[in-house]
Amino acid sequence: MSKQEQIQVVLAGLNAAVPEIKGSLLASLDGMPIAYALKVGTVDPARIAAMTATALSVGKRTSESLGAGTLQEVHFAGTEGRIFVYTVAGRAALTVVTPMDTNVGLIGLEARDMVNKLLAII
C-alpha cells in the first residue's frame, strides 16, 4: 500500500470512530493537501490545507510568544461547528471538522491516536 493510501486509511478510520466527524485532512506545513477524507463535499481540500497551515503558523507563533510552549493544537468554534488542527511532529497538520455538539473529549483522544499512527507512516 502506498503512503497516501495508508494515510487515507487512517483518516477514514478516524471518521468511522467518531461518525459525526464531517471530514479530516492531512496537509503539509506549507499548506498543500497530502490526503483527505471529507464528507463536506463543498469544501475545497486545497483551501482547507492552506488555511490550516496559516492557522497553525499563527498559533505556533502566539503560543511561543505568550509562554505557552510548543504548539500542539488549535481549536476553532463557530456557531455551526468546530475545527481542530493538530501538529504531526512539526511536519504536517491534521485537521478535523465536526459539528458544534460533538464529543470534544472523544475527538481529542481519537485524533491524538491518529496523530501517532500518521507519525509511523510519514
Partner 1 sequence: MKHSAVTPLKLIISGPVGAGKTTFVSTLSEDPVVNSDEQTTEEIGKTHTTVALDFGRFVLQGRPLHLFGTPGQSRFDFMWEILSEGALGLLLLVAGDRPADFPQALSILRFITSRNPMPFIIAVTRQDSKGAWGPEKIAGYFAVPTTRVIGIDARNAQSSLGAVTCLLSLIEGSTSGNSRNPFHSTSHSTSNSNVKEST
Q: Which residues bind partner 1 (CB under 8 A)?
A: 28-32, 46-47, 49-51, 53-54, 57-58, 61
The label of the residue with cell 492531512 reads: 26
Q: How far is the CB of 19 from partner 1 (least distance, A)?
A: 29
Q: How far is the CB of 38 from partner 1 (least distance, A)?
A: 17
Residue 37 CB: number of other CB atoms within 10 A?
20
For residue 90, the minimal CB distance to partner 1 (Å) is 9
Beta bridge partners of 86: 73, 94
18 and 37 Cβ atoms separated by less than 8 Å:
no
CB 95 → partner 1: shortest distance, Å?
A: 14
Residues 60 and 85: their CA atoms lie apart, in Å, by 12
- Comparison of 48 and 111: residue with beta carbon closer to partner 1: 48
Query: Rounded distance, CA 97 to CA 23, Å?
Result: 5
Residue 83 or residue 107: which is nearer to partner 1 going by CB? 83
Query: 56 vs 107, which CB is nearer to partner 1?
Result: 56
